[in-house]
Structure 1
Amino acid sequence: MDSFCFVHQGSLLLVCIILLAITNLKSKIMVEQNLVTMHTFVIPMADGNDLLTVLVSVKNDTDLSFNRLFGDAADDKVVGFDTEYSLEPKFSRDLNAHVIEKIIALVKLCTKCRCILFRLDKENIHFVHLLKKLSALLANRDIVFVGVRKRDDLAKLRNDYGLEISNFVELSELVVSVLGGPVLGTYGARELASYLRFFEILNPETRPFLLIIWLDNSLNREQIMCAVTDTYAAYKIGKKLLEDRSWKWLH
């Protein structure tokens, strides 16, 4: 009888282990299926790194993307920050006037292995949810957000969307502080990345998408690469300069 109970209990334990394994496998499959349904791209960077890039548009994309970005940031503490603008018609009482407004349409965040592109589309039914998630992420003081010449963009995000970054480092100021040479403060992200020899600067003709409609659902791979490059450059620059600054203080 005792041996029967032992075998019976052992069988139940084995069944529980198998069921748990099946549940975990199903969860993993669901996550992978979610990734497939997103607007995902694997974008090769000039330094040889392949960047998993997600263009966020719906609620499930937002939640999963934030979780993964938080995971990266928890390890690295540095996130590259950038924006893209679109031109939108603006209401005017003068019916004959054609008023165009420049708005921030895309917020871009990059870590060492992924880039998340958040479209600030007020017509999207998930816009409020995305804005809350993005606001919570940007307010996290444990993460250092880094960008190149982004002061005006920060003010516009605050005024237009109520978004504010709690821990932001302006790299055009930091590079002058760490390396000297005021002219470095006038460089854009790609120029600065080239100067620091992260990757070669792209020729002007390789960035022909200056008037992209970033809220359009038909963005192609080349346009996504255009959006990602500056943000990844900001991440690389910020990572190096923050490390150099720490070394400088210690010595």
Structure 2
Amino acid sequence: MAITIEEVESPHECATSFEVVVHNRTVCALVTRCPSAVDLWISVHLLSARDYPRTVGFDIKWRPSFARGVRHPVATIHLCIGRCCLVYQILRARCLPRSLYLALRDPRFVFTGVRIAPDAAKLSEDYGLEVKKAVDLGKLAARETNRRELRRAGLATLVRELKGRDLKIPREIALGKWDARRLTPRQVKYACADAYYSFQLGHLLLFDEIFMMWVMKWFGSLQRPSDEGQYLDDMLEDLR
């Protein structure tokens, strides 16, 4: 798969912006360690939406350890909605943005990723950030397609089976130095592709359920935010 990347003018002075082309789709990526840049991205791309709930692609990276007993904290958080991705260098940040804390806990957002439960647990252990509604794409794909073998499938397999696309992330990138002060363009483009397809697959597989929820809200079946939250909890119970 050819993934191309080009640096472009950034809307924020302490962030770097890129245009990443993934399978002929241009994805805008913002890379930053600055809390104020994260606040702006979340405000523009998550909180400004009017149609809830929303699916958000999710992934994290950390520097791998090959020594017994050595454990490295989460270095980057990757979020994607639509064609907009955020790569937040949390390990390099001077503080945690409150907007990120609130967004991850917001019941209106459904975060989707491969093997997301252990990632969410590590993020909570390292930084106290809770991902309230996390959905495993493998379990979701197995349920929606009635193919049990997909429960433990990796992202590349899910992309191939569900989107007919070839996604290969080089091992040296996946196991790279994600705690570096400045990420390489190769790291950024593959982080973006990973988060983008985590969003795409989540949106594809959850569309019917979320559309039905919109219909129920429209006709008044779900009249309170607590009703919406309970509906989502019931829908996602077997996917955590």
Matched position secondary structure for 1:144: strand
Paired amino acid for 1:217: R
Q: TM-score, normalization: structure 2?
A: 0.75
Counterpart of 2:36 in structure 1 is 60
Counterpart of 1:112 in structure 2 is 82
Counterpart of 1:50 in structure 2 is 26
Counterpart mapping for 1:42-191 below 5 A: 42-46=19-23, 48-71=24-47, 74-75=50-51, 77-87=54-64, 100-121=70-91, 124-125=93-94, 127-128=95-96, 130=97, 132-191=98-157
Contact 1:56–1:118 at 8 Å: present in 2 too?
yes
Are residues 1:231 and 2:195 paired? yes
Alpha-carbon offset, residue 86 of structure 1: 1.3
Paired amino acid for 1:86: R
CA distance in 2, matches of 1:163, 1:212: 24
- Percent of aligned pairs with the same amino acid: 24
Contact 1:73–1:143 at 8 Å: present in 2 too?
no
| Unmatched 5+ stretches in structure 2 | 1-8, 216-240
RMSD: 2.8
Matched position secondary structure for 1:235: helix
Alpha-carbon offset, residue 124 of structure 1: 3.4
Query: Structure 1 residues 115 and 75, CA, compared in 2 at 3 Å: closer, same or farther?
Result: farther
After superposition, give the CA deviation of every residue in 1:54-102 in whole Å (9 maximum; x if it has no partner): 112123312222212225654571110111121479xxxxxxx985213
CA distance in 2, matches of 1:156, 1:180: 30
Alignment partner for residue 242 of structure 1, among 161, 181, 206?
Answer: 206
Contact 2:10–2:16 at 8 Å: present in 1 too?
no
Report which of the two has the higher share of helix. Answer: 1
Alpha-carbon offset, residue 223 of structure 1: 1.2
Query: Structure 1 residues 146 and 39, CA, compared in 2 at 3 Å: closer, same or farther?
Result: same
Alpha-carbon offset, residue 157 of structure 1: 1.3
After superposition, give the CA deviation of every residue in 1:189-225 in whole Å (9 maximum; x if it has no partner): 12201111252232x6x45313322232332221101
After superposition, give the CA deviation of every residue in 1:137-162 in whole Å (9 maximum; x if it has no partner): 10111111111111111111122211
CA distance in 2, matches of 1:59, 1:241: 32
After superposition, give the CA deviation of every residue in 1:25-57 in whole Å (9 maximum; x if it has no partner): xxxxxxx863465211111111x2111101121
Paired amino acid for 1:157: L
CA distance in 2, matches of 1:56, 1:201: 25
Contact 2:10–2:17 at 8 Å: present in 1 too?
no
CA distance in 2, matches of 1:247, 1:60: 33
After superposition, give the CA deviation of every residue in 1:123-180 in whole Å (9 maximum; x if it has no partner): 632x23x2x2211110111111111111111111122211111222222111111111
Counterpart of 1:15 in structure 2 is none
Larger radius of gyration: 1
Counterpart of 2:176 in structure 1 is 212
Matched position secondary structure for 2:124: helix
